Amino acid sequence: MSEEMMKQGVLVRGFGGFYVAVDDAGTEHILRCKKKFRRMHISPLVGDNLLFTPGEGEEHGWVEEILPRRSECLRPPVANVSLLVVVICPSPEPDLLLVDRLLVRARLQGMKTAIVVNKCDLDETLVEDIRRQYAGADCPVLAASAKQKNGLDDLRALMTGESCCCLTGQSGVGKSTLLNALLGLELETGEISEKIQRGKNTTRHAQMLIHDGIRVLDTAGFSLLELDAKMEPDKLRECYPEFAEHEGCCRFTPCMHDREPGCSVTAAVDAGEIDAGRVERYRLLLADVRETWKQRYN
Ligand SMILES: Nc1nc2c(ncn2[C@@H]2O[C@H](COP(=O)(O)OP(=O)(O)OP(=O)(O)O)[C@@H](O)[C@H]2O)c(=O)[nH]1
Ligand SMILES: [Mg+2]
Ligand SMILES: [Zn+2]
């Protein structure tokens, strides 16, 4: 294939073995993947930068090359995210262990993070609580109500200038509704189930929306997430910015900040300087990571 015929674009969505890429001029191209990718066990992710040969007329084109990724996740399955925006809300109830897992994974991938507390029209106290818990986490906490169109300017300002933002979180928190309000779109949204207070997984696949210089991914909600099975227990505490100033201040070095005597992090929790819940959840994740690490050769 001659080089001149190739174009570059970003993968914005996939459907049934086809991929849709948008080129620099904003034109959409329908593509299929060459067999060599399957042989290499690589599949393109939404957010990937691609080199492709456009199809002629009604014919689809071909993905020729996936350019190097600056980050990749499998949950949600997306590439090249620079800012991960975790959306929570009063109902369905927030799962902060899931939030912390997402923040850890983002940090390991070099992404910036933010938390948006949506549906503030239902409960305006939640955002204050979350701001307090994540005060030292290097993660801005924004208040929003997609329904009342509040907080959208802050969210837009946060996303402007990012190469690619990604909204993630449980089903039913209002990710698609937020993007509709923010970008004037009509993405499908779904009621949450009254009986179990859970979303109904309305968004099924990740897709990239490009609008007013903002590139943002709407993704499918989920509630289960594992940390990387190859993660060393030592790495986890580096994902908590609130611990940084305590490194080297504990009685033992290294200290995992897991209830060792003379631990500076425990002292900071007792003094109310670091949120107790956040540290408690860190310790749960640490136990998890240690268990997985122990079994890594089994
Ligand atoms: N009261 C209130 N309801 C909201 C708000 N934002 C979204 N909702 C409602 O929450 C429900 C779920 O919204 P979606 O946008 O479909 O949620 P989602 O996060 O995209 O869910 P999945 O696609 O399943 O992951 C819908 O009934 C929305 O109308 C809000 O700010 N306030
Ligand atoms: Mg959705
Ligand atoms: Zn310690």
Closest C-alpha residue for ligand 1 atom 2: 119
Q: Is the CB of 147 under 6 A from ligand 1?
A: yes
Closest CA to 71 of 82, 61, 63, 60: 82
> What's the pLDDT score for residue 2?
59
Minimum CA distance residue for ligand 1 atom 14:
174
Ligand 2 centre distance from Cα of residue 169 (Å): 10
Both structure tokens of 153:
């300017």
Task: Kindly report the protein residue whose alpha carbon is nearest to atom 7 of ligand 1.
Answer: 174
Superfamily of domain 3-66: Nucleic acid-binding proteins (2.40.50.140)
Task: Report d(CA 270, CA 266) in Å as an integer.
Answer: 6
As given in the structure block, the two tokens for residue 281 are 């959840």
Q: Whose CA is nearest to atom 16 of ligand 1?
A: 189
Q: Are 21 and 10 in contact (CB under 8 A)?
A: yes
Structure tokens that stand for 193 in this block? 């189930």
Backbone angles phi, psi at 188, to 5 degrees: -70, 135
Task: Please tell me the pTM assigned to this model.
Answer: 0.96
Output Rg (C-alpha) for the chain, integer angstroms.
Answer: 21
Nearest CA to ligand 1 atom 8: 174
Nearest to 48 by CA among 194, 154, 207, 205: 207
Task: Return the CATH fold of 72-218.
Answer: Rossmann fold (3.40.50)
Q: What are phi and psi of 57, to 5 degrees?
A: 60, -120
Q: Could you give the residue range(s) of every CATH 3.40.50.300 domain in the chain?
A: 72-218
Closest atom of ligand 1 to 145 CA is 31
Domain with CATH 1.10.40.50 in the chain: 233-294
Residue 129 identity: D
Start and end residues for every CATH 2.40.50.140 domain found in the chain: 3-66
Q: Report d(CA 237, CA 232) in Å as an integer.
A: 10
Instruction: Give the pLDDT means over successive 10-residue stretches in the chain (298 positions).
Output: 81 95 95 92 95 94 96 93 98 97 96 98 97 97 98 96 97 98 95 87 96 94 88 95 96 95 98 97 96 86
pLDDT, residue 1, reads 53
Query: What b-and-e string marks burial along 202-212, b requiring 16 or more CB atoms within 10 Å of the CB?
Result: bbeebbbbeee
pLDDT for position 8:
97
For residue 244, what are the contacts with CB-CB under 8 A and spacing of at least 6? none
CB 249 within 8 A of CB 264: yes
Is residue 279 within 8 Å of 265, Cβ to Cβ? yes
Residue 252 Cα, ligand 3 centroid: separation in angstroms? 7
CA distance 118 to 172: 11
Q: How far is the CA of 145 from the centre of ligand 1 (A)?
A: 10
Distance from Cα 131 to the centre of ligand 3, integer Å: 24
- Asked if CATH classification 3.90.600.10 holds for the domain at 233-294, the reply, yes or no, is no
